Structure 1
Amino acid sequence: MSQNNSLTFEICTNQTNPEWDQFISGISSVCHEQSSVWADTMTLSGWNSARVIVKENDKIVCGAQILTIEIPFFGKFGYIQQGPCINSAGNDAVKLMVDQIKEFTKKNKLQFTTVDIAYNLKELPQITEDKDFSPHPDRLPPEAPITSTLLLDLTQDLDTIMAGFKSGRRKSIRSGLKHGLEIRTGTRNDIELLFDLIDQTCKRRDTKPLYPDISFLYKLWDMFAPNNWVVMHIAETDRQPVCASLSFTFGDTFRNSIWGWSGDYVHLNASDVIDWKTICWAKEKGFKYYDFVHLDTISAKAILAGNNHVTQKIKERPHYGSTFYKMRFGGDIIFYPGVYSYFPSKLKKHLFSFAAKFLLNNALVKRIIRSIRRKASHTT
């Protein structure tokens, strides 16, 4: 531990850190991806982790969890997912944290460290820019997988929440509820069922699953479930699974993160029903917010701009359908502040930026990039 005036900082390299997890779980809208149990899960994909922690009077006030990975021929990289974490920290503490992220980058000989800034930190981009961070080069991994989301305020009563839905969404939910679809919470034994539903969904969409290895889901469950930081909901009819969702219940925000549907029983409106039931469940458990986790930003902006802006090209985007579906739930569209990176070497910054801009069409470079993305495939 080192000291800076009345503040102290430390670098924690423990695989898990209950004190850190307890601290961040008390921050409104904090993301589970900053927890040490998430970092432990990520070891399956080759990531290591460390935490820059700033304390005032021996109490944590801010910090950041940094995932690191080494790519052959390219070196080591750092990645701060949906962070950092700030609670009751003054400017001096935040600046000290940013300085120590830079020092960590240099001491560990990282090519660069990327910060995917959490949506509740609107003022942080200016602070990072003042500390030699700059917008992350386009197309250079790691690219932020989530740049916008939809939030529902669960402090409202359920009638008010539903009144904020588009009329068609309310009609679909009420119609689906009449069919008596059964919704139950799942256990570790249901992970194979969830994985199968995810696989079926991806095959219909002609996309690849975000979690292609079921062992990652088992590890995730084993790390989060003991603290009640994850829950699974399964919709069934006549004991046949129709769809399922896995959500993170970390902090004050319920995040509906992983979802799969068999494609059958379309008339049951299972998606509408399970989403409404999980909204009700999250409110009953005392969560303040319900996060739909991901919108396609280009599609979302076009939808917000009006029908004339929703072109056929927009409709053909892979996540247009899910974005349109989620936005029918009303709520607040949240755009993330941005992604910023610190490069210790200005020369390497120019080289990486040049590679991202001009070399990505090269066949060899494409193979290398695919390798990097496979390594990072479990980061969201």
Structure 2
Amino acid sequence: MHSDIFSSSSSDNAVEGDLLHGCQDVDLSIMAADPEMWDRFVANAVGGDIVQTAAWARTKEGGGWQCYPVIAWGDGKILGGAQMLVRRLGPFATIAYIARGPLLVDPTSCTLAVQLLDALEHVANLQHVWHLIIQPPEGGDVIAQELKARGYTADAICVAPPATLRVDLTMDLDQILARMSSSRRRNVRQAETRGLNVRFVGHEAIATFHALHKATALRQGFRPVSRSYLKRQWEVLASRGLVFILMAYHKGLPLAAMWLTAFGDTITYRLAGWTGEGSSLQPGVACHWAAIKWGKERGYRWYDLGGIDRDLAALIAAELPLPLASSSSPAGFKLAFGGYPVLLPPAYQIGLRPAGRVMASILRSSCRRHPIVRTIIGSIRGR
């Protein structure tokens, strides 16, 4: 989508009028002044995340999603809001989700939370949405409480990680290394001394990154993100300094790479790619270490390792023993970097129509291989 995702059409005006009716405390509208203004609000809001920006919404357009922003205004300033992404799955079924939202300038405001959720559900009903998923932002306890009061259940497909690990970039490099496991510190030293060349690359390397990413997906048993989605992300975000590719070469050949986003005070590891070769060279570790040093040099506060299982994060936070299998898993790879565990809100879901309630029941049953579930997950994650 272009900048007009936040401007009105004739149908938008009709929706806006409906939203304003009966909402007298704040001015609720599906219009924002402009995308840049909204994105600045997101960057400074408690729990603000790149997935709530207008720029991110544009990356989803090619996958069939349409953005419906609902913005709360007061005294000419944004008080809160969310962008809801809506997609038709077929002739009749329509789904919608909100990742890391709604955002509130005052995250303790129950009144504004209620009004925003009323407005979002109203827009969802106008768009004939069957099934709605909302994953509140970090610090969004008021939102989560209101969702539960409305009958949402906290067992939806997560549209954003429910937990993560973050490396504190305000520490000096020796302190960051000291928090890592002894084996990871050894890996870092190996990566620095074995002839790897780690550097940032541009759009010309997207095809190479995608090939590396597909190799990782094949080994780990997940569906890779599509190359077309990566290209859309790059086209929209790179010029704003919001997306980067780090690639590790050995003797001129690419071995591993990472897809990163930068937003607010955080660098986030999004996707990985590795041929599976040259493991003794530690190309993946080299990429993470390069990202940590780069983020620190540029004044970022956190390096986010991209999400882990919420139960595992809870065990780490409680300093309890971890399952033995975790040490050899992708999560175990991240754990060795010594990041701080962060528990984030789970995703909530509700069926807004009878068929949507059936869909919610399917999702609630954890039938992750069901065609409906696979379609939803793939579409949300850019596959």
* TM-score when normalising by structure 1: 0.85
* Selected match of 1:327 from 331, 335, 352: 335
* 1:375 matched to 2:383: no
* 1:190 matched to 2:194: no
The letter for the 1-side match of 2:165 is L
CA drift of 1:239 comes to 1.6
| Distance in 1, Cα, partners of 2:46 & 2:267 | 11
| Distance in 2, Cα, partners of 1:197 & 1:252 | 28
| Distance in 1, Cα, partners of 2:274 & 2:367 | 35
| Distance in 1, Cα, partners of 2:57 & 2:25 | 30
Equivalent pair of 2:31/2:69 in contact (CA under 8 Å): yes
Structure with bigger RCO (C-alpha 8 Å, 6+ apart): 1
* Selected match of 1:276 from 285, 289, 301: 289
The CA deviation string for residues 29-66 of structure 1, in whole angstroms up to 9 with x for no partner, is 52211111221111221111111111221111211110
CA drift of 1:193 comes to 1.1
* Selected match of 1:167 from 173, 177, 182: 182
| Distance in 1, Cα, partners of 2:363 & 2:45 | 35
Change (3 A) 1:233 1:107: same
**Which structure 2 residue ranges, 5 or more long, are not aligned?**
1-15
| Distance in 2, Cα, partners of 1:28 & 1:301 | 22
* 1:121 matched to 2:140: yes
Equivalent pair of 1:79/1:113 in contact (CA under 8 Å): yes
Residue equivalent to 1:341 = 349
| Distance in 2, Cα, partners of 1:296 & 1:94 | 28
Change (3 A) 1:369 1:167: closer
The letter for the 1-side match of 2:122 is E
The CA deviation string for residues 133-154 of structure 1, in whole angstroms up to 9 with x for no partner, is 4214x4x6x4446222111222
* Selected match of 1:207 from 222, 245, 248: 222
Equivalent residues, number: 363
| Distance in 2, Cα, partners of 1:297 & 1:359 | 16
Change (3 A) 1:29 1:231: farther
Residue equivalent to 2:191 = 176
Equivalent pair of 2:135/2:160 in contact (CA under 8 Å): no
CA drift of 1:80 comes to 0.2
Change (3 A) 1:122 1:187: same
* Selected match of 1:22 from 14, 26, 40: 40
The CA deviation string for residues 302-353 of structure 1, in whole angstroms up to 9 with x for no partner, is 67788975255x67xxxx61101111111211222222234445x5565445
| Distance in 2, Cα, partners of 1:302 & 1:53 | 37
Change (3 A) 1:6 1:159: same
| Distance in 2, Cα, partners of 1:126 & 1:198 | 38
The ranges of structure 1 where at least 4 consecutive aligned residues each deviate by more than 6 angstroms after the TM superposition are 302-308
* 1:67 matched to 2:85: yes
Change (3 A) 1:21 1:306: closer
Residue 263 of structure 2 aligns to a residue in which SS?
coil
**Which structure 1 residue ranges, 5 or more long, are not aligned?**
none
